Amino acid sequence: MSQVFSTLGIAQSGMGTYKLWIDAVADNVANIDNVSPTDEAAFQERFVLVSPVENEDGTGAGVVVTGAAFGDPNGRLVYEPGHPYADENGMIRRPDIDLADQMVYLQVAQRGYQANINVLERAREAYQSALRIGQ
């Protein structure tokens, strides 16, 4: 029976992690067209850092978000002389974020989230079956 409960905890930690990853991707996509003057940092791509959690016996017990990493603050210099933020050389700073990469990250995170929901549902069904047997 304790196996069912540990499965619920592992799936819950996975769902929380993938939700944060989806949030980070959404933040990256929302800021992909930000513009900064060349003397300021560009919007930095967000990445979620994750570490495994182990039980005393060395078996896996889920994951925990340990922090965030950020992309290059230099971004990309783009020549747009008519832009209000353009410097004397006509350059502005844009984030160095690739939309195609973000879409791949989003699909991976969505699939991971869905997989953890399926695990949670199967564990719940097993728990309910065990309760019916005990009646």
Give the pTM: 0.85
Q: What is the pLDDT of residues 39-95, one digit of tens each?
A: 999 999 999 999 999 888 888 889 999 999 999 999 999 999 999 999 999 999 999
- Tokens 């199967």, located at residue: 122
Query: Which residues, including other chains, have CB under 8 Å from residue 122's CB and lie 6 or more apart?
Result: none
Is the pLDDT score of 1 beyond 70? no
Domain that holds residue 61: 2-133
How many domains does one find in the chain?
1
Longest dimension (CA), the chain: 79
CA-CA-CA-CA dihedral for 26, 29, 32, 36, to nearest 10: -10
CB neighbourhood size of 17 (10 A): 20
Number of residues assigned to the chain: 135
Name residues whose C-beta falls within 8 Å of residue 86's C-beta, 6 or more positions apart in sequence.
80, 92
